[in-house]
């Protein structure tokens, strides 16, 4: 399938961001322990739980429940986008299926 110009620009931007992360962090994003946990998650609830655990330090912030609700909503939307055939073909899955 031919990529649309917008898809190619997004993919190039995303690849550049991944390379910058790897250079700064010293590890590829795909090999980061958090990324591995997320890859092995099989539901929106599991992913939201991992993110909630990571956000534990923010518990004392006012509005943390609102942040977690927004994160869960975002994960749910991204999961649905990843399942859509046209988006999966253009961008690839948000997470790899096991």
pLDDT digits (tens, 9 = 90+) for 45-91: 898 888 888 877 666 666 667 777 877 787 787 777 666 655 555 55
In a domain, 78, yes or no: yes
Question: Is residue 60 included in any domain, yes or no?
Answer: yes
Question: How far is CA 45 from each of CA 26, 31, 38, 75, 84, rounded to the nearest angstrom?
Answer: 30, 22, 11, 9, 20
Q: Is residue 30 part of a domain?
A: yes
Q: What angle do CA 68, 79, 47 make, to 5 degrees?
A: 45
CA angle at residue 4 from 28 to 8, to 5 degrees?
25
Number of structural domains the chain divides into: 1
User: Does the residue 97 lie in any domain?
Assistant: no
Q: What pTM was estimated for this model as a whole?
A: 0.49
pLDDT of amino acid 96: 55
pLDDT at 86: 57
Average pLDDT over residues 30-49: 88
Residue 20: give the domain boundaries: 5-91
């Amino acid at each position: 399938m031919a990529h649309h110009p917008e898809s190619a620009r997004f993919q190039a931007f995303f690849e550049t961001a991944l390379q910058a992360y790897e250079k700064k962090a010293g590890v590829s994003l795909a090999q980061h322990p958090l990324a591995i946990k997320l890859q092995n998650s099989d539901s929106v609830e599991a992913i939201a739980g991992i993110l909630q655990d990571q956000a534990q330090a923010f518990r004392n912030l006012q509005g943390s429940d609102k942040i977690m609700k927004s994160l869960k909503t975002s994960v749910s939307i991204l999961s649905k986008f990843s399942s859509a055939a046209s988006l999966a073909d253009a961008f690839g899955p948000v997470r790899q299926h096991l």
